[in-house]
Chains A and B, each alone.
Chain A
Amino acid sequence: MKTKYILLFAFLFLFSCSDDNGEENYQKIPINYEVPSNFPPLTYDLSNNPLTEKGFELGKKLFYEGRLASDGIVSCGFCHEQASAFTHHGHTFSHGVDGNIGTRNTPPIQNLAYQTVFMWDGATTHLELQPIIPFTSEIEMNGNFTNAITMMKGDATYQKLFAQAFPDGAINSENMLKALAQFMVMVTSSNSKFDKYRRNEVGGNLSADELAGYAVFNQKCASCHATDLFTDNSFRNNGLPINPSLNDIGRYRVTELDSDKYKFKVPSLRNIEKTAPYMHDGRFFTLEAVLNHYSSGVVSSTTLDSSLSQNGTLGIPLTNLEKTQVIAFLKTLTDYQFLTDSRFSEY
């Protein structure tokens, strides 16, 4: 008799679950993230933050949420525009709240789940913590967790999305950052013409110029711009003359080691055609200007990378033909599918 009551009760409970507030419950619809076959393994640990459709949806909403900023306008997506591989098109430096201007060029957001260290100087080593830097920076979003959490707790859409995205459903800083991390993990660029070439897929035929450029690149650039992610995640001084009005000491700020002065993270070159201007301070507006720097603009200093000072010669010798070929190759890294993928777009 007792058993019957229990069963009946259990049945009613199940019934109420499926019928009632189903919208407000955790929705464990996993996203199966596949590492592209030409990529190195993921560095981000998905087991602590399994990707789900609702987690990603929440992360995307947060990424484009102007109300996280003190002025209600400057979202992550404000400076990270998809069509420019999530950089700030044409901006040497970006403007944050109240017209404040930063001192470093907005880096792209792509394939971050394969990186071990973030920002131009490597100020943070965890993808989930990285957003804290622009979110709380007084000259970027000037945001505040308490205000953001209060805003979201009073917003029906966020109430629903947090409940659906996380088992505990809590609207707190941990889940906010985890959702943003899910969005960033998904923002993967792996379908450029070059990727198709590497994977022997349709659309992967490189022209003679592009192939010649790839050969030059492998010979003269790939020691730093390594793997199909085009970075070895190291910090190097690439011989840029120091801009005295900024005197950006780079990696030294983090490590306080003299040997790290003026070193910056080797950036990926994916979608490089779309991410001008170039370098940590956005000083070069064209790829030609970048290659001219490497061939004839490198200046010596105590921390100059040894690869740029070989046999008493500064820089990387490149003929005009080689430069044209390398640029042709670099343009094969443009991933139009990524740049227009509606899953990542604001509207």
Chain B
Amino acid sequence: MKFQLKNIAAVVAISLSFASCSNDDDVNSNTLGEGNLKLEFDQIYNGADFAFNTAYTNSNGEVVKVDVAKYIVSNIVLTKMDGSVYTVPKSESYFIIDEETEATHLINLPNIPAADYTKVSFGIGVDKEQFDLGATGQTSFLQTAQDAGMMWSWSAGYKFVALEGKFTSSTVTTEAQFKVHTGQTGNDYNYNTITLDLPDNALVRTTITPQIHIMADLSKIIDGTNVINLSDGATIMGGEKLPLITANLSNMFEVHHVHND
């Protein structure tokens, strides 16, 4: 008798839950459980698809050919429609985007609560809070960074952005090398946070993995709000220009579209 009652109760509960599914509005029904979200970082150069060893002309007339383009993306935070946020666990939130390695362009974030997301934010570099913890919480990221050439060995720190290649200008007529590395130098930590509004909400569901297609305009690193003349000094790994470059990164990223497949 007892078991029968239990069974009946279960059946009632199940049918109620079905009923609620079909009856209720979609917010409640669709935002149960967790899904995945993908961030795609697609490199462009001043409105054109980016390719290595291709000549691009900056606004100051300098012609650059890039052969290294890498940056660290970290601390991803997603904002829901109601304004609340989901923070990807810190220990799983450090990535290196390397133009040369296609697989790094797509970040897959698992275990994202199902919801409609309106914003994404992320850091460029490794935040000071994490860096000050020393090895704690870095797991294998130091190794990953060294393999990617994104470690500043002499100071045991990270390169946040590496952009290298060759350039010519009206004063530098023979192709010369340029190297731009950002990271902690002197009293400037040079980490910054990018927040991007999504043109369409990213609808994370157990059955839907949205893909946020982010355009990263590499030209903005040196040819952005602050125009950096490589002719004045083509190795920038510190000094007064580094904070200018860090500021430029704020306008480097844009969400082109969101797939909700």
Contacts and interface: CB of A to CB of B under 8 A. Distances in A.
Contacts of B44: none
B238 interface: yes
A172 B137 CA distance: 11
Interface string A73-115: 0000000000000000000000000000000000000000000
B135 A173 contact: yes
A137 B154 CA distance: 7
B136 A178 contact: yes
A133 interface: yes
Nearest to B242: A256
Interface in A106-165: 123-130, 132-133, 136-137, 144-146, 149
A216 interface: no
Nearest to A168: B139
Contacts of B142: 132, 145, 173-174, 177
A49 interface: yes
Interface residues of A, number: 31
A330 interface: no
A254 interface: yes
Nearest to A134: B153
B129 interface: no
A314 B240 CA distance: 34
Nearest to B138: A174
B96 to A, nearest CB: 14
A221 B239 CA distance: 35
Nearest to A172: B140
A123 B154 contact: yes
Contact of A172 (B131, B143, B157, B186): B143
Interface in B106-147: 131-143, 146-147
B147 A48 contact: no
State which size class the interface on B falls in.
20 to 34
A257 interface: yes
Kindly name the residue among A144, A173, A255, A257 whose own CB sees the greatest number of chain B CB atoms within 10 A: A173
A124 B239 contact: no
A48 B143 contact: no
A173 B138 contact: yes
A174 B132 CA distance: 14
B140 A174 contact: yes
A149 B147 CA distance: 12
Contact of A177 (B132, B135, B157, B238): B135
B187 interface: yes
Given A137-B154, A256-B185, A256-B239, A129 B134 contact: yes
Contacts of A174: 135-140, 142
Contacts of A175: 135
B155 A254 contact: yes
B166 to A, nearest CB: 24
A170 interface: yes
A181 interface: yes
B236 interface: no
B143 A146 contact: yes
A48 B133 contact: yes
A97 to B, nearest CB: 14
A128 B139 contact: no
Given A123-B154, A254-B186, A128 B136 contact: yes
Contact of B186 (A48, A125, A132, A255): A255
Contacts of B227: none
A221 to B, nearest CB: 30
B139 A172 contact: yes
Given A136-B146, A145-B143, A256-B186, A177 B134 contact: yes
B156 A123 contact: yes
Contacts of B138: 173-174
Contact of B155 (A49, A133, A177, A181): A133
A137 B143 contact: no
Q: Which of B131, B135, B136, B154 has the most CB of A within 10 A?
A: B135
B194 interface: no
Interface in A5-24: none
A149 B140 CA distance: 10
B144 to A, nearest CB: 9
A55 to B, nearest CB: 12
Contacts of B157: 124, 129
B151 interface: yes
Interface of B: 131-143, 146-147, 151, 153-157, 185-187, 238-239
26 contacts: A48-B133, A48-B134, A123-B155, A124-B155, A126-B156, A129-B156, A133-B154, A133-B155, A136-B146, A144-B146, A145-B143, A145-B147, A146-B146, A149-B140, A172-B139, A172-B140, A172-B143, A174-B135, A174-B136, A174-B137, A177-B135, A177-B142, A181-B135, A254-B185, A254-B186, A255-B186
Given A128-B135, A255-B186, 13 more contacts: A48-B133, A145-B142, A149-B140, A172-B140, A173-B142, A173-B143, A174-B135, A174-B139, A174-B142, A177-B134, A177-B135, A178-B136, A257-B186
